[in-house]
Each structure stands twice: as structure tokens, then as C-alpha cells.
Structure 1
Amino acid sequence: MADDLERSLAVIRRFVATYHPAADTALLAGSRARGEGVAHSDYDIVLLYRALPDGAWRETVRFEGGIIEVFSHDLATLAYFCREVDRPSGKPVLPNLVAEGVPISSDPSALLDAARRIAGETLRLGPTPLDAEALRLARYTLTDLAAALPDRRGGGVRLAVGATLYIALADFALRAAGHWSASGKAVPRALAALDPALARRFETAFGHFFSTGETEAVRALVHAVLAPHGGPLRDGFRRTAPATWRLP
């Protein structure tokens, strides 16, 4: 594992030296920094600059046969994305990258220390809490998706509904509990951090649904997740648009 990390760091050192020598410091983050990367895993890196007058930027590039995802920030743009983008979204992509990233250099960096303080503060604050309207909308959406599971129009429709419901239900379980949410392959890990038993129930219920098409376990899981927050919601749900939402 240590050898894999050092090889990944060596790749990023060459990449930064070749294309971004002006960066104050760089971090290798994501699965490769955690020692969980495989041969085809991307390299997630954060470039920190003293100033980016034209703003933060992100790009995906190929280097030495691998894909590198680059997140470039100065302290001001980092603070903005952490507080105004990631906290409201509930998904701490950038603060996690900065907090968990491995520097490509062992040299002390005051800029990196400051960046990690911003990331750490964001993670400690947690996501912006869901308000009452957001909770009601989520309850309605999840109830509606669960009702659509036993669709008779074919396996493709059921798979689409099931996949959508898995992500939406996991996001609700995490956010309603005041925890950070996640995307893609990070969702099971986020659920396990919240409640290992709940994570296993998600895996069992949805695994059974995707392999057999049977919906009972998933629908029971939906009810269990919604129960502490008022339960399923469908009949009587109403949303009113602002009166100014009209065209002449």
C-alpha cells in the first residue's frame, strides 16, 4: 500500500512540475491517497495557489496513461466552495479532498495549513440543515418513487426507478440525520459511517430488488427511513409557486 501511494505521488509530482509549476502546493486525494485505488482509478489532486485572479478551475486531463482530476483554488475560492457550494449541497467533495489529501512535498506550507483549517471548519459545521419544506418535498418524492417500484412496463423502468430511489433515499437518510451525504461509490461508505446496520439493510434490500424485482424489502426500508420524519407523504401534498412566476 505504501509503495502504491509513493508511485501515485511520483506521478503527480511529475504532472505538477510539467504543467503547474506555479502552484504553491499540491495534494493527492481520493481513493489513491486512501490506499483504495485500483489500476484504472483516477488521480484526484488539489492545486493550491496564493492567488487566482481569474477564479478557481477544474479540469480532467490524461497524463502518463492515467486520468487526473484537477481542482485548483486559492484560499478565497476554497472558502467560497466549501461554504456556499458544498455545505448547501450536503456533499463535502472539496473539504474532504483538502482534509484527507497527501501533500506531494514534505516542505512546510502555511497556505496548506490555512486551507486545511477552512476544510476542517466546514466538515465540523456539517451540511446546511434541511428545512421543513425540504423535508416535506423529500418525503413526497420518496413516497412517489416507492409507489412506482412495481411498474409493469418492463425491467428497464424498474431499474431506473430503483436506482433513483437508492440514491434519493440514502441522501435523505444522511441529510435528515444531520450528516454529510455522498455521491456514487461513496454512498455506501457514508451510510456505514452513519449506521452500519442501516447500510447493511440498504445493501440487502436493494440487492434483492435488483436481482429479483421483488419490492417488499425496499418499500419497508422507505417506510423505516421516513418514519422518524412524519412517514410517507403523498395525499394532500401541495406546493405553491410565487405569484411573480409568470410571463406576460
Structure 2
Amino acid sequence: MRLEPTEAAIRVMQRNYPDCLLAVLGGSASCGEYNEQSDLDIIVIERDGYDFSRKTIEAHGWIAEIFILSLSSYREYFDEGVLAANPSLQRMVAEGTVLRSLPEGVEVRADARRDLNYGPMPLSPSDIAEYRYILTEFLLDLTSPRREGEKWFTVHKIASTLCEFVLRANREWTGEGKMLFRLFNRYSPALGDRLEAALLAIYREDDPEDLIALTEEVLSPYGGKLLVGYEE
């Protein structure tokens, strides 16, 4: 029988990590947005142990993906997320459902919240130029003769890079996969709607014009498209 997600996660924690300093259930299961294909994302902070390990188990009707860090190592991995502007561990720790927490665990959560509240580092002029160049190249690929498979890969790269650029340019955190679009849409529902409509126009009607126009509009305040003259 499949248990309610929090109860299932508590049992996993009690059986496998009863002495942990902090255990948190993150992801869709922690906010009531789960479905039959959802899994349990559990992050565990232990006093000692490996710097970082990750394992997947099956328990109580769920697939559980467990991320284990030590008290001495978590900061290093938090910093990696900050530098990449994708603090996935901090999101889980700060926004998830707490399963167990000792005083040291409370401080880890406070550390995660401080990172999230501070925001990512601003893009440098060279970073912005790189995004402009990459998106310009992808747009050229999209409008050039191509095989169907190449077109879909190009569309995917434009959509993900566009979302990432908008978020980074406005000092917002990014994510991966569906989380990237969620964050993009949360930042600007209007842009989220336009991107979704542009993608549908390509998939249903093979019409890339809306995606091209949206990308050019996003790049315009930063100097527009860039190809000739770009330097690294």
C-alpha cells in the first residue's frame, strides 16, 4: 500500500537515518502536487559520513531518491549551487517538509534560506554577450535547412537558454527541466504564456516566428542579437 508521502518519508528516515541532524522531504511530494509517477526527494544531513552520496530505493509504495551530506560538507555543495545559479539543495532544505531536525539542522536550514534570499550573482557584460551570441546562433540554426530531429533539439535549446537568460539577467535563480519553466513562469506569467504558445505553434504548425520574435524581444534591451564582433 502506498502511504501518504510525508509518512512514507518519515519511515524511510527512521529506518535508514535515525540519528541524522536534518531530514527534509522536498519536491512535488512535499507541496501536495504529486501524482502516480512522482517520487520522494529526501535530503539528509548527518554529523559524519561521506561528503555527498545519492541513492534510490523503493519503500512504502514509493521510489525514494535520497541525497546524503555531512555537516562538514554541505556548504561546499551549497556554494556550487550558488555559483551555478541553481541552488536545488537549498530549495529542498529551505522549502521542503521537515522530517527531523536537531539544533545543527536548524542552522543548516537557516543557511539555505540565506542563500535563497540573497539571490544569484549578477551577470557580467561578458556573460550577457555570451547569452546573446548563443541565442543568435540557435536562431540561425532554426531558420536554416535542417532535419526534423535537429529542429527539435534546436527549439529545446532556445527555450531553455531563453528562460535561463531572463532569470539570470534579473537576478533570479534558475533550475533544470520542468523546474526551469516553473521559475520562468513564476517570474513573468506573461512571458511564460508567450513561450508556451510559441512552442505550441512550432510543434503543431511548424511555425517558428513567435519563438523568434520572443527571443529577439528579450534580447533587445541588452543590445539585441550578436554574432559578428563577439569575443571571449
Q: What aligned pairs does 1:136-175 form with structure 2 within 5 A after superposition?
A: 136-175=129-168
Give the equivalent residue in structure 1 for 2:6. Answer: 9
Distance in structure 2 (CA, Å) of the matches to 1:87 and 1:195: 22
**What is the aligned counterpart of 1:33 among 30, 33, 44?**
30
Per the TM alignment, residue 13 of structure 1 is displaced from its structure 2 partner at its CA by: 2.1
Could you say what the CA RMSD is over the residues aligned between the two structures, in angstroms? 1.8
**What is the aligned counterpart of 1:87 among 39, 62, 82?**
82
Per the alignment, in what secondary structure is the counterpart of residue 104 of structure 1? strand
Give the counterpart letter for 1:18 in structure 2. Answer: R
1:201 aligned onto 2:189: no
Deviation digits for residues 92-132 of structure 1, max 9, x if unmatched? 20110001111224xx6212210111101100111122222
Distance in structure 2 (CA, Å) of the matches to 1:39 and 1:213: 33
Per the TM alignment, residue 143 of structure 1 is displaced from its structure 2 partner at its CA by: 0.5
Per the TM alignment, residue 65 of structure 1 is displaced from its structure 2 partner at its CA by: 4.3
Give the equivalent residue in structure 2 for 1:246. Answer: none
Choose 66-75 or 138-147, whichever is displaced more: 66-75
Aligned length in residues:
231
**What is the aligned counterpart of 2:211 among 211, 215, 218?**
218
Answer yes or no: is the 8 Å Cα contact 1:151–1:157 preserved in 2: no
Choose 205-214 or 168-177, whichever is displaced more: 205-214
Give the counterpart letter for 2:201 in structure 1. Answer: H
Distance in structure 2 (CA, Å) of the matches to 1:47 and 1:122: 18
Distance in structure 2 (CA, Å) of the matches to 1:229 and 1:104: 45
Per the TM alignment, residue 58 of structure 1 is displaced from its structure 2 partner at its CA by: 1.9
**What is the aligned counterpart of 2:225 among 227, 232, 240?**
232
Give the equivalent residue in structure 1 for 2:91. Answer: 96
Give the counterpart letter for 1:130 in structure 2. Answer: L
Structure 1, unaligned runs of 5 or more: 240-248
Per the TM alignment, residue 213 of structure 1 is displaced from its structure 2 partner at its CA by: 1.6
Per the alignment, in what secondary structure is the counterpart of residue 168 of structure 1? helix
Distance in structure 2 (CA, Å) of the matches to 1:81 and 1:95: 9
Deviation digits for residues 28-86 of structure 1, max 9, x if unmatched? 1110001101111010001121233x312222233344321111123332222222x11
Answer yes or no: is the 8 Å Cα contact 2:54–2:65 preserved in 1: yes
Distance in structure 1 (CA, Å) of the matches to 2:220 and 2:200: 22
Per the alignment, in what secondary structure is the counterpart of residue 73 of structure 2? helix
Structure 2, unaligned runs of 5 or more: none
Per the TM alignment, residue 227 of structure 1 is displaced from its structure 2 partner at its CA by: 1.1
Give the counterpart letter for 1:74 in structure 2. Answer: S
Answer yes or no: is the 8 Å Cα contact 2:21–2:46 preserved in 1: yes
Per the alignment, in what secondary structure is the counterpart of residue 224 of structure 2? coil
1:71 aligned onto 2:67: yes
Deviation digits for residues 163-188 of structure 1, max 9, x if unmatched? 11111111011101111111111122
Per the TM alignment, residue 24 of structure 1 is displaced from its structure 2 partner at its CA by: 2.7
TM-score (norm 2): 0.92
TM-score (norm 1): 0.87
Answer yes or no: is the 8 Å Cα contact 1:151–1:158 preserved in 2: no
**What is the aligned counterpart of 2:128 among 113, 132, 135?**
135
**What is the aligned counterpart of 1:24 among 21, 26, 35?**
21
Per the TM alignment, residue 22 of structure 1 is displaced from its structure 2 partner at its CA by: 3.1
Distance in structure 2 (CA, Å) of the matches to 1:229 and 1:208: 26
